[in-house]
Structure 1
Amino acid sequence: MVNRPLPVINQDNRWHWEKLKEGIFVIQECAGCKTRRWPIAPVCYHCFSKEVELIQCEGIGTIDSWVVFHHSYYPYFADKLPYIVVQVKLAEGIRVTANLLNIDPSEVKIGMSVRLTYQQVLNSDVILPQFVPY
């Protein structure tokens, strides 16, 4: 069995991965200027503040961009081809990149409504955020 590539979990992002185990997707919001940011960063890219608040996302958004992979760059994905990777603009204003599940690649459209779902990685305690049509 080939293992799936897993995210690097460290002190700066552990809170994110722990919240995913609860089925909650959270993002950072600068306590000073209220800029929301994703991906996770140690300081605000707008005002450079280190003060942060966590905002729970509803997980509803629309597809801004997408690609269908027909070639596997990691052995894990070899039997999962083709698979879809989307960039989704969430209602909270940030963009998230993840897989799109439960749809034929020919049906994917820019502007399509999607929602977050959570997928347990086999042989791991990691939960990955994924999208499904909504």
Structure 2
Amino acid sequence: MGQRFIHILNVPNLDLLGVREPEIYGRDTLADVKAACLRELDGTGVGLIFRQTNAEHEMVGWLHEARIGAFGIVINPAAFSYAGYSVLDALKMCDCPIIEVHLSNIHRREEEWRSRSIMTRSVTAMISGMGVDGYALAVRHMLRIDRRNAA
């Protein structure tokens, strides 16, 4: 069996992380997130596929690629959380652990609709409100899941 990968998938507007509403999302960039995740994976033999798109169809294609044999998926569905049914359906086809990450605590946001992510129907776990640290925590948890399953 070849190297397995954690797919970290980021969706609309996260290409502007660090400059878009820093009072909510912080000043770290996706490059900072990727570096933190790579540190978590250092020496584990697990690879990283790190992507961002503003296009729903592209996200669905990436989930189709990851659906069989991925080590795990960490997804920040952002705005797709509320209406991305094609993303939800693609997640349901995946055979690996999936962790949904939100930078802000979606349950404390002003807009009530932000607290109702449809993605929770298909994910293993959700991390919300830990800022960019949530990504590294998700990667660390994926590694623990794998160790427990191997024991």
Shared fold by TM > 0.5?
no
Give the number of the structure whose residues are more often helix, by fraction.
2
The structure where strand makes up a greater share of residues is: 1
- Which TM-score band applies after superposition, normalised by the shorter structure? under 0.3
Report the structure number with the largest CA radius of gyration: 1
The alignment's TM-score, normalised by the length of structure 2, stands at 0.23
TM-score, scaled to structure 1 = 0.25
